[in-house]
Amino acid sequence: MEYRLSPSILSADFLHLADDIEKTKEAGAPYLHFDVMDGDFVPQISFGMPILKAVRKTTDQVLDTHLMIREPERYLKEFASCGADIITFHLEATFHVKDCIDIIHDAGKKAGLAINPETGVAAALPYLQDLDLLLVMSVHPGFGGQKYLPESDRKLKEARKAIDEAGLSEKVELEVDGGINRETVGRAMEAGATCLVAGSAVFGGKQGDVYSSVRYYNDLFTRG
Ligand code: DX5
Ligand code: ZN
């Protein structure tokens, strides 16, 4: 298995965002996770296109964009043109899942589908063939720094099994987002996640600085 860390800049120091991003890059994080919140699908409002454009200019890391917005179909093209590489939207946020995937692919980007803790993996399976990434939320979306929900293990295992059985393990990444830290990363890997989002564990300063945190996870992933 090849594992990847996707540091979520939601917990970064916004006044020194370029410095924080540079540290993740130097330490070898291949992805950067960009959480967009609309104050409607989730209670909070985070950041959007202008920041994405600025971030795009400062790094060549894969911009792993997580849209927590209602009716994402309204904005997909715009996120693509602002420099997102992977565009992940929520199954619960739209009646037009397949159309969203098509819009993202037509824009030349990778399409991800996210499911909330209360949504079963089965709901995402009809779209698996068309996806590049499936995101299993391991917290309720909307805030950084929450605790990993233990039932996420079972969902990740179910998703991993479905991806493997469909022969899609090379194509569809399985991402986990929420509460990933040094204590929980192992169980998420064991359950089958290959792309691991970490916000407060990288930028929160509780377990070392940004550079050494990214290095910690990268070393772990190399050992498998
Ligand atoms: C939560 C966001 C996450 C968040 C994760 O709604 O989607 O990406 O930044 O933060 P941590 O890693 O602190 O749980
Ligand atoms: Zn996220």
Q: Give, for all 224 residues of the chain, the pLDDT tens digit.
A: 899 999 999 999 999 999 999 999 999 999 999 999 999 999 999 999 999 999 999 999 999 999 999 999 999 999 999 999 999 999 999 999 999 999 999 999 999 999 999 999 999 999 999 999 999 999 999 999 999 999 999 999 999 999 999 999 999 999 999 999 999 999 999 999 999 999 999 999 877 799 999 999 999 998 86
Q: Which protein residues have their CB within 5 A of the ion that is ligand 2?
A: 35, 66, 177
Collapse the DSSP code of 96 into the 3-class scheme (helix H, G, I; strand E, B; otherwise coil) and give the result: coil
pTM of the model: 0.98
Give the angle 156-178-94 at the CA atoms, nearest 5°: 75
Q: Three-state DSSP class for 108?
A: coil
Residue 219: strand, helix, or coil: helix
Does the Cβ of 9 fall within 6 Å of ligand 1? Answer: no
Give yes or no: 177 in active site. yes
156 CA distance to ligand 1 middle (Å): 17
